[in-house]
Amino acid sequence: MLDLRPNCECCNKDLPPESLDARICSFECTFCVACAEGPLAGKCPNCGGELVRRPRRPSGKLVSAPASTERIVRLGGCATMEPSLPAHD
């Protein structure tokens, strides 16, 4: 099940579960559409994977399967393309 992380790792923009602006890679690194399509050019800075629109969870399912509240923010935001976290294997 997807975590549905609450924010963009680059600019810390809020990305609620119903957001159409959330983009994720296959490891669920999460970015807003502005960062994903702008400085990141559709590529995850952590793993190099493709960034795609995050699916929305039906609101009725959020009760039994809530979205994550853990915020992850890259040091330096999108200004640096150097990974702030270890690369995914």
pLDDT, tens digit (0-9, with 9 covering 90-100), for 2-55: 999 999 999 999 999 999 999 999 999 999 999 999 999 999 999 999 999 999
Residue 26 forms part of a structural domain: yes
The span from the CA of 61 to the CA of 32, in Å, is 23
Amino acid of residue 14: D
pTM of the model as a whole: 0.85
Please report, for the domain that includes residue 44, its CATH number: 3.30.40
Is the pLDDT confidence value at 87 over 80? no
Residue 87 forms part of a structural domain: no
The span from the CA of 89 to the CA of 82, in Å, is 17
Range of the domain at 65: 1-79
Residue 3 near residue 62, CB atoms below 8 Å: no
8: number of Cβ within 10 Å: 27
**Considering only CA atoms, which of 52, 48, 41, 49 is closest in space to residue 78?**
41
